[in-house]
Structure 1
Amino acid sequence: MSQARHHGGDHSPIRPFRNRVAVLPVLPVLVVAVVVLVDLSGGAGISWLPLLAVGPALAATTNGPRGVLCVGLLAVALGATLGVHDGVPGRELAAVLAALVAVALAGGLASALRGRRERVLAAVRSVAETAQHALLKPVPATVGPFQVAVRYSAAAAEARIGGDLYALIPTPYGVRLIVGDVRGKGLPAVGTAALVLGVFREAAYDEPDLLSVVDRIERSLARNLGPDDFVTAVVAGYPRTGHLEMVNCGHAPPLLVRAAGGVVPVEPAHPAPPLGLRTLTGHTPDLQVLPFGDGDQLLLYTDGVTEARDRGRAFYPLDEGLARHVCDEPSRTLGALHDELLSHVGGRLHDDAALLLIRKPTVREVVVPEPAVCGAAGTRPATRPTARSV
């Protein structure tokens, strides 16, 4: 899988139980027991005794060194007992027992090394989790006048972050957001994503004009990126009620869902080059203004979603999926889209994928309690929800 992003850690109450199961080598003991039963029923003697080594070898893949050694001691003890019972010659029995001891010791060493690698991996994942929260900060369910939902999946195994980026923040000039995709993969792409997000968060607060925000990002990338590097992005803002501003820099067109129904791609009237390539083309982006009223929704995404292919090499139809699953709760909409996307590709994405959905709730859906006033007897009357325009 892709690793879908969820905020917060894993606080599952069943983790201690899992740890206890990991210490108890149930399956290796069952294997040893089966070998013993086969030997006792068949009486084949030496031909079955070497199979006892499967127990400690299997324990080395699932258990710690203590569990491996316990299974090894059990195998040696049962091997000696069966050897005497079957009348195995002394030298042959000694050779089998020595082999069992060697397998148990080697398995214990392998288990210790595996445990060390797992601890290193856990530490690396912890660092990646911290970097993720610093780079792709958690987005609350409500930002300004919008309901918001985010889904992010990094294609790299064990990864938490990649080359896709997003941010949505309230500013003195209204809510502003960005969704982008860095050319390339790996750590260089993560570094570029961090640069873009850092500049965006600063410029979004400082610049009253959305095009000035884009210009700040462009200048920063021109100083720091190589000649072949660039970032496609959509930068949007909500400066006043009912109007959404947007600047598309070589990115996939967002999908607009009107309250009355229907999914419409927001194609840029004047296409602009990706961020970092303006000096090569000399073309400056234009500001696009859209009406955005109560009940309207806007989905921004990266090409890891639309370029996801199934076994027949067919692309995922995002617009059709959005039309099927759209509802009044952005988190449910994105959850259904993400599940359908994974089903389309067979369970694992091959590119980073980001989805960000905003929705303007209707007046009826936004309720706030009236201020409570103490009565003459010192009691507090019940509050009554009142509709508030947003």
Structure 2
Amino acid sequence: MRWLPACYFVFVLLLETVTPTGWAVSFLLIALPVIAAYALGPVSVAAVTVFAIVMEGVVAGTPCCTGHNLHQLWETHHVAAYIATGLVGLLGVALAAHRHRQERDLVRVNSVAEALMRTLLRPVPHQVGHLLAAGLYRSGEVGTMVGGDLYDIRATKAGERAIIGDVRGKGLTAVRTVADILGSFREAAHDRGDLTAVAARMERCLTREAEEIPDDELFVTAALIEYDALAHQLTVINHGHIEPVLISRGEVTAMTGPPALPLGLGDLAADRPVARTHRFTPGDVLLLCTDGLIEARDHTGAFYPLLDRLRHRFTDRPAPGPADVIDFLNTDLPRHTHAFHDDVAILAIAPNGSTRTSPTGCAP
């Protein structure tokens, strides 16, 4: 964009050389300050305005350059063009100043939004209790980190517990729900109840949130995870979310099972959600993601083939760590799609092989 004024000026000069002498091509320079306002700052636009007026005079009345007579420099229509260029220049300066203020405000708003999301979605530590972990978040909102996807992982007395979820809705309207869900999970995760009790507490939180907004269609798809290091056992409750993916002994499989309704719609279900248990030993990696990953499209409209890509990368190879899986997806996904139209949240966890002891802390 910064080269646009120069390109336009060169275009006018070229047009002057190929058009008859009687054509007032110099009048096209009146638009130069406005064009500059889209790419340059106010001071630069003012300088371009002065430059445009000078060049109008050169094109209009310099015999050696244009073949015009020098007396044409002060003809009435040329003087009117100089005045018009000056007025357009004032408008261009005002537009450039307004654009500059908007850009500055946008940067400030984006910085606040990014800080907000980093506060809600805290960086995933390398180790949480007896799990190794890594995470990735990309927002579908262009230029911001504000989105409706969420994840978290906690080390508790009941074991390591994690959540990944996707709030219905986009942008700032979803941030409030993200904050409520994460706050509810971080508090409930430390209760001694089982994973279904944690889910029930979050269900009540969403019910209250829906009454306050109000929103009869507020819901969150989520997968809740609990790891027992002594039993090398993983417990999963899926509330309408994408199935977790297990990378184990060189094989990549989706952990299928009967999902429950999304959080917030529990009143519509007759039965409580079913918790499933799986063997989870050192060398295994569990991948949790949101639909922004598997629904990312390439130029042909094809979805991102998550299982195929993971199998291509990790089948019959040494056991990866969570960071290896996240790094691969962070590199491979942009090769598949150049535009992210939905939020993408990814969480990978793996046992670190240590003996079960009391948790030393939780995710910062």
- Tell me if the contact between 1:304 and 1:353 (Cα under 8 Å) persists in the aligned partners: yes
- Tell me if the contact between 1:273 and 1:281 (Cα under 8 Å) persists in the aligned partners: yes
- Bigger CA drift: 116-125 or 271-280? 271-280
Q: Which residue of 2 aligns with 1:69?
A: 46
Query: 2:23 and 2:228 mapped to 1: Cα distance?
Result: 83
- Tell me if the contact between 1:179 and 1:234 (Cα under 8 Å) persists in the aligned partners: yes
- Tell me if the contact between 1:168 and 1:178 (Cα under 8 Å) persists in the aligned partners: yes
- Tell me if the contact between 1:39 and 1:45 (Cα under 8 Å) persists in the aligned partners: no
Against the structure 1 CA distance between its residues 53 and 360, is the aligned structure 2 distance closer, same or farther, given a 3 Å change threshold? farther
Shift of 1:329: 4.3
2:196 to 198, 206, 211: 211
Q: Which residue of 2 aligns with 1:238?
A: 227
**Secondary structure of residue in 2 paired with 1:195:** helix
Q: Which residue of 2 aligns with 1:318?
A: 306
Query: 1:351 and 1:37 mapped to 2: Cα distance?
Result: 46
Aligned amino acid, residue 78 of structure 1: M
Question: What TM-score does the superposition give when structure 2 sets the normalisation length?
Answer: 0.83
User: Are residues 1:349 and 2:326 paired?
Assistant: no
Q: Which residue of 2 aligns with 1:359?
A: 350
Against the structure 1 CA distance between its residues 350 and 64, is the aligned structure 2 distance closer, same or farther, given a 3 Å change threshold? same
Shift of 1:29: 4.6
The higher relative CO (CA closer than 8 Å, separation ≥ 6) is in: 2
Query: 1:45 and 1:207 mapped to 2: Cα distance?
Result: 90
Gap regions ≥5 residues in structure 1: 1-21, 364-390
Shift of 1:72: 0.8
Q: Which residue of 1 aligns with 2:218?
A: 229
**Secondary structure of residue in 1 paired with 2:189:** helix
- Tell me if the contact between 2:168 and 2:174 (Cα under 8 Å) persists in the aligned partners: yes
Query: 2:21 and 2:239 mapped to 1: Cα distance?
Result: 76
Aligned amino acid, residue 326 of structure 2: L
Gap regions ≥5 residues in structure 2: 63-67, 355-364
Query: 1:282 and 1:105 mapped to 2: Cα distance?
Result: 69
Against the structure 1 CA distance between its residues 49 and 288, is the aligned structure 2 distance closer, same or farther, given a 3 Å change threshold? same
- Tell me if the contact between 1:46 and 1:83 (Cα under 8 Å) persists in the aligned partners: no
Q: Which residue of 2 aligns with 1:373?
A: none
Mapping 1:204-353, distance limit 5 Å: 204-225=189-210, 226-241=215-230, 242-258=232-248, 260-268=249-257, 270-326=258-314, 328-344=320-336, 346-353=337-344
Q: Which residue of 2 aligns with 1:97?
A: 82
**Secondary structure of residue in 1 paired with 2:123:** coil
Shift of 1:156: 2.4
- Tell me if the contact between 2:285 and 2:320 (Cα under 8 Å) persists in the aligned partners: no
- Tell me if the contact between 1:69 and 1:105 (Cα under 8 Å) persists in the aligned partners: yes
**Secondary structure of residue in 2 paired with 1:236:** strand
Query: 1:219 and 1:26 mapped to 2: Cα distance?
Result: 57
Query: 2:109 and 2:59 mapped to 1: Cα distance?
Result: 47
Query: 1:42 and 1:343 mapped to 2: Cα distance?
Result: 48
CA offsets 1:144-199 (integer angstroms, 9 cap, x no match): 33332222222222331222111112223332110011223343322222111110
Q: Which residue of 2 aligns with 1:122?
A: 107
Query: Structure 1 runs of 4+ off > 6 angstroms?
Result: 40-43
**Aligned residues with identical type, % of pairs:** 38
CA offsets 1:218-261 (integer angstroms, 9 cap, x no match): 12222322443221111112232422222112211100010x21
